[in-house]
DNA sequence: TCTGGGGTCCTAGGACCC
DNA sequence: TCTGGGGTCCTAGGACCC
């Protein structure tokens, strides 16, 4: 069997949420469409159409600012379920081109095209077939980057958008990357760029000249190694599917900063409910709970606690969350955002059945499994009801 | 400008054990 | 009495990505 030159495509859907809304509603085509929070509320732009971008609007921009720049735009709340279904349809199409798909977000995926030349032709041809397929069957445009590894394919897809195609032939990686700005390097954000600028490094050319040891001293061992590789087009192994740990979290930003303990606790309960039920749904478990607080001045802190056993019930999770809240919040400081999450989430294979017996928490856990079944049947119960419901079925009858 | 919500990965310090 | 190195786990914070 002959060996093949590795070939990866990175596919990015163009202005995905906005493009779906424009496809579904012809009145919106050719117009600025902004998906995200509603003007007047706290929140940001999630995605916007290319027409909106000509006004200077972009992702992650505060919605208030977007509204000032583009008051006549159409503002739409995201319809995530709809977008997820469209995303799944697109992924299905990708499987006709290769069995190796790595979906990295709702609107992005890697496709390994190594050895498919005999079927789809050279990279240009294969990419055009893929783009045509998605346009014809889904009605959306995509941008494709092609290279010998995922890191360069990813940066190639960002090079020309929308409806773009950039191919970086093997051996020309460094030449391609030299055309980019530092901010275009994947994994180099605002802070790293600032630090590089302090050192008078403003271009990729300048970065390539810095010895690996020096980068290590400046950015830490892992950070230095990463920078050394990324500017040379060497893939350190991004998205290799090796997920070491996993976390599940929910957070909520109050419309107005909140110092009403009852309101804060109610929100905390809803968050606990959300993450515990997701844990059950994923058949997973965790011993570590993380509470996140963001105050009125936007300062953010977290506090976490690990137990010697998995947290399995909403009650246990909520009680622990309250304990963390009490230790971190002095009640005079209004809260902007409160978040709750599990970290170090693992699959439940490791649970020893024996230790579940005679455990009072286990009965609660079973009650919650039953509630989960009901929710599957009848849809999500309102959270406020959920709190009463679960407390009302308290198997210990101790009123907690 | 006035900043969502969901994540992953890394660092550094401290506790504890051998 | 003062001293070391390594490993593992936990915690808090921060950079970055979509």
Half-sphere CA count of A281, side-chain side, radius 13 A: 13
Distance A260 CA to C1 C1' (A): 56
A189 touches strand C (CB under 7 A): yes
Residue A73 has what DSSP assignment? S
Helix (H, G, I), strand (E, B) or coil at A160: coil
Nucleotides of B under 7 A from a protein CB: 1-12
Q: In what order do the strands lie in the sheet with A45-48?
A: A45-48, A33-36, A74-76
Give one DSSP letter per residue of A344-383, joined into a string. Answer: S-EEGGG--GGGGTT-HHHHHHHHHHHHHHHHHHH-PPPH
Distance A295 CA to C3 C1' (A): 45
CA-wise closest residue to A75 among A15, A41, A34, A23: A34
Helix (H, G, I), strand (E, B) or coil at A131: helix
A104 touches strand C (CB under 7 A): yes
The pLDDT-based confidence of A391 (bands split at 50, 70, 90) is very low
Distance A293 CA to B1 C1' (A): 23
Which nucleotide, over all strands, has the C1' atom closest to the CA of A63?
A: B3
Nucleotides of C under 7 A from a protein CB: 9-18
The pLDDT-based confidence of A371 (bands split at 50, 70, 90) is low
Nucleotide B7, nearest residue via CA and C1' = A247
Q: For chain A, what is the mean pLDDT? A: 89
Tell me the average pLDDT across A160-185.
96
Distance A289 CA to B10 C1' (A): 20
The predicted pLDDT at position A373 comes to 58
A43 touches strand B (CB under 7 A): yes
A243 touches strand C (CB under 7 A): no
* Strand duo A248-258 + A335-343: pairing: antiparallel
Which nucleotide, over all strands, has the C1' atom closest to the CA of A253?
A: B4
Give one DSSP letter per residue of A222-271, joined into a string. Answer: HHHHHHHHHTTT----TT-S------EEEEEEEEEEE--HHHHHHHHHHH
The predicted pLDDT at position A218 comes to 86
Distance A324 CA to C7 C1' (A): 29
Please provide the size of chain A in residues: 400
The predicted pLDDT at position A363 comes to 59
pTM, full prediction:
0.86
A178 touches strand B (CB under 7 A): no
Catalytic residues of A: 108
Tell me the average pLDDT across A143-169.
97
Residues 116-135 of A with CB under 7 A from strand B: none
The CA–CA distances, whole Å, from A100 to A91, A116, A148, A241, A383 equal: 11, 12, 15, 12, 40
Which nucleotide, over all strands, has the C1' atom closest to the CA of A188?
A: C16
Distance A198 CA to C8 C1' (A): 37
A221 touches strand B (CB under 7 A): yes
Helix (H, G, I), strand (E, B) or coil at A181: strand
Half-sphere CA count of A17, side-chain side, radius 13 A: 19
pLDDT digits (tens, 9 = 90+) for A297-341: 999 999 999 999 999 999 999 999 999 999 999 999 999 999 999
Judge whether residue A243 has pLDDT over 60.
Answer: yes
Distance A216 CA to C4 C1' (A): 26
A103 touches strand C (CB under 7 A): no
Alpha carbons A142 and A96: distance in angstroms, whole number: 16
Nucleotide B10, nearest residue via CA and C1' = A222
A37 touches strand B (CB under 7 A): yes
Whether the Cβ atoms of residue A236 and residue A230 lie closer than 8 Å to each other: yes
Alpha carbons A197 and A294: distance in angstroms, whole number: 30
pLDDT digits (tens, 9 = 90+) for A88-124: 999 999 999 999 999 999 999 999 999 999 999 999 9
Question: What values do phi and psi take at A101, rounded to 5?
Answer: -115, 130
A288 touches strand B (CB under 7 A): no
A400 touches strand C (CB under 7 A): no
Tell me the average pLDDT across A202-224.
91
């Amino acid at each position: 069997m002959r060996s093949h030159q590795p070939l990866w495509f990175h596919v990015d859907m163009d202005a995905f949420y906005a493009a779906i809304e424009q496809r579904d509603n012809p009145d919106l085509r050719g117009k600025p469409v902004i998906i995200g929070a509603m003007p007047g509320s706290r929140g940001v732009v999630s995605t916007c159409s290319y027409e909106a971008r000509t006004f200077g609007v972009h992702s992650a921009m505060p919605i208030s600012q977007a509204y000032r720049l583009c008051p006549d735009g159409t503002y739409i709340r995201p319809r995530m379920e709809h977008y997820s279904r469209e995303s799944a349809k697109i992924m299905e199409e990708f499987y006709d081109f290769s069995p190796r798909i790595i979906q990295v977000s709702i609107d992005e995926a890697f496709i390994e095209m190594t050895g498919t030349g005999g079927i789809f032709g050279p990279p240009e041809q294969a990419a055009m077939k893929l783009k045509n397929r998605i346009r014809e069957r889904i009605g959306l445009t995509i941008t494709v980057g092609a290279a010998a590894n995922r890191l360069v394919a990813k940066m190639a897809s960002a090079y020309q958008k929308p409806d773009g195609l950039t191919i970086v032939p093997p051996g020309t990686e460094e030449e391609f990357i030299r055309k980019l700005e530092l901010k275009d390097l994947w994994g180099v954000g605002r802070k790293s760029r600032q630090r590089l600028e302090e050192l008078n490094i403003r271009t990729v050319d300048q970065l390539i000249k810095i010895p690996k040891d020096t980068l290590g001293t400046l950015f830490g061992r892992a950070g230095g190694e990463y920078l050394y590789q990324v500017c040379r087009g060497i893939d350190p192994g991004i998205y290799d599917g090796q997920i070491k740990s996993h976390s599940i979290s929910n957070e909520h930003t109050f419309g107005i900063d909140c110092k009403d303990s009852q309101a804060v606790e109610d929100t905390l309960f809803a968050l606990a409910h959300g993450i515990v039920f997701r844990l059950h749904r994923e058949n997973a478990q965790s011993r570590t709970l993380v509470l996140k607080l963001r105050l009125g001045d936007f300062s953010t802190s977290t506090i976490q606690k690990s137990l010697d056993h998995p947290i399995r019930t909403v009650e246990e999770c909520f009680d622990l969350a309250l304990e963390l809240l009490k230790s971190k919040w002095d009640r005079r400081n209004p809260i902007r955002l409160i978040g709750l999450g599990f970290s170090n989430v693992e699959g439940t294979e490791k649970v020893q059945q024996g230790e579940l017996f005679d455990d009072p928490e286990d009965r609660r856990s079973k009650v919650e499994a039953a509630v989960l079944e009901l929710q599957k049947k009848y849809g999500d119960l309102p959270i406020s009801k959920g709190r009463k419901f679960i407390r009302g079925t308290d198997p210990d009858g101790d009123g907690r």
